[in-house]
């Protein structure tokens, strides 16, 4: 018999609804994401993409519906347990990396490892290894203000991956970069996540970015309006 743990979707969302006052941001979303899948989330501005990934990540609580990640139903967890699950299973990257400006690149990447209980020495060694993987082996001692936008986004990606999350949620991670830098950052990120078999949900407005994914889902007016397999190069 097939092993349920490996054949069940890594993330299953059913009947997700979320309103902000009178605005119905999500109007009933069902979505399965397989382990190791890279999914591009597309759709017009205001259609509900960020709300969707925030509900999937347990940052927002949906008004109705359920999210299960790696066998754990988020709705059954209290706030502390959800925060622990996020720390263990989930990484985030945003359009502007949100690095701490007073910490060097290596210390930014080390931060979540220290929060997870690693020693300072181990956290720094691990951080240098992640920066190396993201092509920044010689940039670890720089502060974010001394780096290019592309370098800073690579540091943010290294920080998100350093805890070895099961899922990476990326909200326009290259949206602030020019197209050459965006492509290079994206290619590096996807090489690293595919090697680690990290599952990725990637919000993007850019079809060229979406073409790197295994699958595109399209959110319109709070509903999924399409889902297509994208040819992986
Ligand atoms: N905290 C909030 N308070 C009130 N309304 C909100 C809040 N967050 C989102 N909304 C509304 O919910 C709808 C969906 O927003 P959401 O940010 O999910 O869209 P999006 O598709 O990610 O947009 P964009 O591509 O512009 O980032 C929008 O109408 C937005 O104004």
CA of 97 to the centre of ligand 1 (A): 20
Joined tokens for residue 49 = 């993409």
The pLDDT confidence band at residue 230, using thresholds 50, 70 and 90, is low
Question: What ipTM does this complex have?
Answer: 0.98
Q: Which residues contact 79 (CB under 8 A, 6 or more apart)?
A: none
For residue range 160-196, list pLDDT tens digits in order: 999 999 999 999 888 888 888 888 888 889 988 999 8
Give the list of residues 6+ apart from residue 156 with CB closer than 8 angstroms, or none. 93, 94, 97, 98, 99, 108, 173
pLDDT of 133 strictly over 50: yes
Report the candidate in 226, 232, 181, 172 with the shortest Cα–Cα distance to residue 203: 172
What pLDDT sits at residue 1? 47
**pLDDT-derived band at 208, boundaries 50, 70, 90:** confident
Average pLDDT over residues 109-133: 94
Assess whether pLDDT exceeds 80 at residue 3.
no
Question: CB of 48 closer than 6 A to ligand 1?
Answer: yes
| Ligand 1 pocket member 204 (CB < 6 A) | no
In this structure, the residue with its CA closest to atom 25 of ligand 1 is: 45
To 5 degrees, how large is the angle CA 199–CA 63–CA 42?
Answer: 40
pLDDT at 5: 53
Using CA positions, which residue lies closest to atom 17 of ligand 1? 50
Please provide the average confidence, as pLDDT, over all residues in the chain. 90
* 158 touches 6 (CB < 8 A): no
Q: Supply the pLDDT for residue 233.
A: 43
Q: What is the pLDDT of residue 96?
A: 75
Does 231 have pLDDT greater than 80?
Answer: no
Residue range 23-58, pLDDT digits in tens: 999 999 999 999 999 999 999 999 999 999 999 999
- Is the pLDDT higher at 128 or at 227? 128
Render pLDDT for 101-118 as a digit per residue (tens, 0 to 9).
999 999 999 999 998 899
For residue 180, the model assigns a pLDDT of: 85
Q: Where are the domains of the chain?
A: 4-229
Predicted pLDDT at 116: 87
Question: Can you give the pLDDT at residue 94?
Answer: 84
| pLDDT at residue 71 is higher than 50 | yes
pLDDT number for residue 176 = 83
Local structure of 216: helix, strand or coil = strand
Nearest residue CA, atom 11 of ligand 1? 25
Cα–ligand 1 centroid distance for 48 (angstroms): 6
Question: How many A from CA of 1 to the centre of ligand 1?
Answer: 43
pTM (2 decimals)?
A: 0.89
151, 184, 150, 190: which is closest to 170 by C-alpha? 190
| CATH architecture designation of domain 4-229 | 3-Layer(aba) Sandwich (3.40)
* pLDDT at site 184: 87
State the closest ligand 1 atom to the C-alpha of 54, by its place in the atom list counted from 1.
18
């Amino acid at each position: 018999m097939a092993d349920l743990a490996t054949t069940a979707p890594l993330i299953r969302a059913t009947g997700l609804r979320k309103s902000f006052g009178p605005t119905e941001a999500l109007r009933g979303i069902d979505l399965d994401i397989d382990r190791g899948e890279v999914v591009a989330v597309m759709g017009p501005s205001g259609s509900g993409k960020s709300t969707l990934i925030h509900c999937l990540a347990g940052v927002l609580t949906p008004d109705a519906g359920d999210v299960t990640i790696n066998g754990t139903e988020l709705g059954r967890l209290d706030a502390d347990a959800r925060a622990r699950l996020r720390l263990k299973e989930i990484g985030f990257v945003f359009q502007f990396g949100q690095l701490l400006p007073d910490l060097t690149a290596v210390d930014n990447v080390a931060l979540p490892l220290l929060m997870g209980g690693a020693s300072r020495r181990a956290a720094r060694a691990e951080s240098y290894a992640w920066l190396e993987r993201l092509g920044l082996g010689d940039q670890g001692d720089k502060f974010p203000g001394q780096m290019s936008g592309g370098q800073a986004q690579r540091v943010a990606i290294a920080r998100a991956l350093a805890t070895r999350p099961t899922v990476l949620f990326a909200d326009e991670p290259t949206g602030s970069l020019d197209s050459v830098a965006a492509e290079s950052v994206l290619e590096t990120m996807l090489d690293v996540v595919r090697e680690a078999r990290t599952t990725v949900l990637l919000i993007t407005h850019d079809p060229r970015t979406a073409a790197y994914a295994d699958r595109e889902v399209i959110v319109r007016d709070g509903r999924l309006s399409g889902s297509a397999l994208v040819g992986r190069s």
